[in-house]
Amino acid sequence: MANGRAARWRPGARMLVWSVILLTTAVANALVEVMDAGRRGEDLGLWQPMIWELSSVTMILLTLPVLWSGCQRWPLHADTWKRRLPLYLLASVGWSLVHVTGMMGLRHLAYAALGYHYQDDATWPVRLMYEYLKDVRAFFTFVAIEHFFSWFGRRRQGEAHLLAAPDDAPPVDAVERPERFLVRKLGRDFLVATGDIEYAQAAGNYVNLRVRGHDYPLRSTMAALEERLDPALFVRAHRSWLVNVRHLVSIEPLDGGEALLHMDDGGRIPCSRRQLPSFRQALAVQGAA
């Protein structure tokens, strides 16, 4: 499915970038540790600081998807940041606890696997406080970067709105059945014909409208959008999908009575067994036409 691929690739590419950044930093920090120990006249094998650094990086990478999900679930906007900042501060404490306990556990396991015993000179309260003072900065750095790229992505992607009625004139479209949507992208407004929408996918509090290879989020529920669109043109394929039958190319049956709908943009959309007869009928009508 086109949207599904985008949803999977974006986090994967983001995780790859952060993995490269954090691993490179870990190697550099480990080398610095060895050089500092050499200047102090101490014999420190590279394997030890590598375990210290990689245990930290591993826990960060394991927890990043949860942090990103939280940023998407509770975004910081101009009208919400004051209310949600305490939530983020509390989350930073929880994130640090998971990071530190997991990191220490990995260090003990790595040392034991090599026949050594890992000894931490600091007590647990001191260790937790010391690590939190570092983690809180890292936490809010990740949060700030995630919010920046989310904002930048929304600016590039654009956002769809129902046309508002002018103050001193009749509505441009019938309120019940809009013929066009207003799309804002990079500071410019565009009118998108309803018939140009290829399909729509539910995404939380939004519905992504697919138009000529681009997704435009519309703040609406799928049920509310379905009521506003022509039922002869837009058919529900699945709980989270609404399809413009004019852009339907073929139907691929699957085991269990379900199917994949192949769209003219290359997208593949799941179709439930209950909705499949409607699409077979729509495809037959298109063929007859």
User: H or E stretch including 189?
Assistant: strand 188-193
User: Which residue, chain included where needed, has tokens 């066009």?
Assistant: 180
Q: Categorize the per-residue pLDDT at 11 as very low, low, confident or very high, splitting at 50, 70 and 90.
A: low
Tell me how many domains the chain contains: 2
Alpha helices in the chain (DSSP H): 2-39, 47-73, 81-113, 124-157, 222-228, 276-288
Same domain, 149 and 205: no
Domain span including residue 179:
160-288
d(C-alpha 244, C-alpha 201), whole Å? 12
Residues 182 and 52 in one domain: no
193 is written with which tokens? Answer: 């014909």
Q: Is the full-model pTM beyond 0.75?
A: no
Asked whether residue 108 falls in the same domain as residue 180, the answer is: no
Joined together, the tokens standing for residue 47 give: 């394997």
Q: Which residue among 137, 157, 177 closes a domain?
A: 157
Q: Are residues 260 and 206 in the same domain?
A: yes
Cβ atoms within 10 Å, residue 156:
10
When pLDDT is averaged across residues 89-109 and rounded to a whole number, the result is: 96
Q: Are 267 and 223 in contact (CB under 8 A)?
A: no
- Residue that terminates a domain, selected from 93, 126, 157: 157
> Same structural domain for residues 145 and 186?
no
Average pLDDT, integer, range 84-102? 95
Mark which of 130, 157, 184 sits at the end of a domain.
157
Residues 126 and 208 in one domain: no
Give yes or no: residues 200 and 144 share one domain. Answer: no
User: Range with the lowest mean pLDDT among 37-46, 104-113, 162-171?
Assistant: 162-171
Say what percent of the chain tops pLDDT 90.
37
Please identify which residue in the block is written with the tokens 């077979």.
Answer: 280
DSSP per residue, 246-286: GGEEEEEE-GGG-EEEEETTS-EEEE-TTTHHHHHHHHHHH
- Highest mean pLDDT: which range of 9-23, 181-195, 237-251: 237-251
Q: Are 125 and 133 in contact (CB under 8 A)?
A: no
Distance CA 179, CA 224 (A): 16
Q: Single out the residue of 212, 190, 220 nearest to residue 267, CA to CA.
A: 212
How many whole angstroms separate alpha carbon 95 and alpha carbon 67? 8
Computed over its alpha carbons, how large is the radius of gyration of the chain?
26
